[in-house]
């Protein structure tokens, strides 16, 4: 029997490419749709190496086009969809809010239209990529799914509105089911070192910046504030290995295919690490101390953010298995063997 096909919009991106590998490992056939606006085409060659040419399919196309989505749903008899396609840079979303609402909003509208048009009585279930950013500055940690939503930038608003759209469509189409996943801070890479995170330009996020300091592309890390109300004064986040996150998506697809009801689930480890802890862990993995300077706080940052992951355990039977050291080891293997990311492919 042919492997059930799962459509991954934005499947050539950081989380999508790792999820493709986890899905293939679990016996699914991932079908990737990406317009490569924030991904390197060479990731496809790397996936060929890891999965073989029969192990996945890919299409260069825009997820804002319902026609394209309908054609893929039909052609591959898609059993479930994971919707990753989105623009994700917080600072850029503040400078270009229309671009963010247009792209992230229209991708999801087109997908929901395609699912409704092609699904007959039972449209393929959906896993929607949301983010811990929907919680803004939380009243308390760990953060449960019931915490209030307080988006503080246009990107975060696109995620809140996306969630609302999914919930509204679920209410209108009672036979359809969706799981909304709110991820905390994904880091690391596939243990092969063949795929990983490859941001364009100067990295916005901590781990890719630290990786580039370790490999000599940047002189030092600037730590954004050492006066936060945390044990060492630097910001605390819930770093999560991208392969754990990828396996969380496989669990969500398994759950929906087994008839599970719609839900909203945090994916995080439930543990917080500070900027200096992460820097120290990475330094011990790459065998030298990494240079840093203390700078001012970054606008919009918060002190502490980590998940209450208990719902992921009870609903999806998922919990993160990999620790901070493994996140750093796998990130370092990827960066060391691809100092310039996919440009080295």
Binding mask 254-283 toward ligand UFG (x if CB under 6 A, else -) reads ---------------------x--------
30 forms beta bridges with 6
Question: Which residues is 186 bridged to in the sheet?
Answer: 240
Residues numbered 116 to 135 that lie near ligand NAD (CB under 6 A) are 129, 131
Q: Which partner in ligand UFG, ligand NAD, none is near 10 (CB below 5 to 8 A by kind)?
A: ligand NAD
Tokens of 84: 């990753």
155 in active site = yes
Residue pair 335/197 in contact (Cβ under 8 Å)? The answer is no
Mode of pairing for the β-strands spanning 236-237 and 273-274: antiparallel
Q: What does the per-residue mask of binding to ligand UFG show for 53-92, with x meaning CB under 6 A?
A: -----------------------------------x-x--
Asked if 189 is part of the footprint of ligand NAD (rule: CB under 6 A), the reply reads: no
| 321 SS3 class | coil
Q: Please answer whether residues 306 and 143 qualify as being in contact, where contact means their C-beta atoms are separated by less than 8 angstroms.
A: yes
Residues 69-88, interacting with ligand NAD (CB under 6 A)? 84-88
The pairing of beta strand 263-267 with beta strand 304-305: unpaired
Enumerate residues 166-225 that contact ligand UFG by CB under 6 A. 183-185, 204-206, 209, 221-224
Catalytic residue among 28, 100, 135, 155: 155
Bridge-based pairing of strands 80-83 and 5-9 is: parallel
Chosen from ligand UFG, ligand NAD, none, partner binding at 107 (C-beta under 5 to 8 Å by type): ligand NAD
Which H or E element spans position 284? helix 275-286
Residue closer to ligand NAD by CB (options 84, 282) is 84
Distance between CA atoms of residues 251 and 23, nearest Å: 9
H helices of 173-299, in order, are: 206-214, 242-257, 275-286
The site for ligand UFG, by CB under 6 A, has a size of: 21
* Nearest of 242, 260, 164, 145 to residue 197 by alpha carbon: 242
CB 123, CB 54: distance < 8 Å: no
Question: In the bound complex, what is the minimum distance in angstroms from residue 200's beta carbon to ligand UFG?
Answer: 14
Residue 108 CB, nearest approach to ligand NAD (Å): 10
Could you tell me if 94 and 153 are in contact, meaning their C-beta atoms sit under 8 angstroms apart? yes
Enumerate residues 88-147 that contact ligand UFG by CB under 6 A. Answer: 88, 90, 131-133
Subset of residues 279 to 318 that bind ligand UFG, contact rule: CB under 6 A:
298, 301
CB of residue 78 vs ligand NAD: minimum separation in angstroms?
Answer: 16
Catalytic residues: 155
What is the contact surface with ligand NAD in residues (CB under 6 A)?
10, 12-16, 34-39, 62-64, 84-88, 103, 107, 129, 131, 183, 185-186
């Amino acid at each position: 029997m042919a492997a059930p096909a799962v459509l991954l919009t934005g499947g050539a991106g950081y989380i999508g490419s790792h999820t493709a590998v986890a899905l293939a490992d679990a016996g699914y056939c991932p079908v990737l749709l990406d317009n490569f606006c924030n991904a390197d085409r060479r990731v496809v060659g790397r996936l060929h190496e890891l999965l073989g040419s029969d192990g996945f399919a890919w299409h260069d196309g825009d997820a804002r086009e319902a026609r394209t989505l309908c054609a893929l749903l039909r052609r591959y008899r898609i059993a479930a969809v994971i919707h990753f396609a989105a623009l994700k840079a917080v600072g850029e979303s503040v400078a270009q809010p229309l671009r963010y609402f247009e792209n992230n909003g229209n991708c999801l509208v087109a997908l929901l239209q395609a699912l409704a048009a092609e699904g007959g009585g039972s449209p393929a279930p959906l896993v929607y990529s949301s983010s811990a950013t929907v919680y803004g500055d939380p009243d308390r940690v760990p953060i449960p799914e019931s915490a209030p939503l307080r988006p503080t930038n246009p990107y975060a608003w696109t995620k809140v509105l996306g969630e609302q759209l999914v919930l509204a469509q679920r209410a209108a189409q009672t036979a359809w089911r969706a799981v909304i996943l709110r991820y905390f801070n994904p880091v690391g890479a596939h243990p092969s070192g063949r795929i990983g995170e490859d941001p364009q330009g100067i990295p916005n996020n901590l781990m890719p910046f630290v990786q580039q300091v370790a490999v000599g592309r940047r002189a030092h890390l600037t730590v954004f504030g050492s006066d936060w109300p945390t044990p060492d004064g630097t910001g605390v986040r819930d770093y999560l290995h991208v392969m754990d996150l990828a396996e969380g998506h496989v669990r969500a697809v398994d759950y929906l295919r087994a008839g599970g009801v719609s839900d909203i689930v945090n994916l995080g480890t439930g543990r917080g690490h500070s900027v200096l802890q992460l820097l120290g862990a990475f330094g011990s993995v790459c065998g030298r101390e990494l240079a840093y300077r203390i700078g001012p706080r970054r606008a919009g940052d918060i002190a502490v953010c980590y998940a209450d992951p208990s719902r992921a355990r009870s609903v999806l039977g998922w919990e993160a298995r990999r620790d901070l050291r493994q996140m750093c080891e796998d990130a370092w293997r990827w960066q060391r063997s691809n100092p310039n990311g996919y440009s080295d492919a």
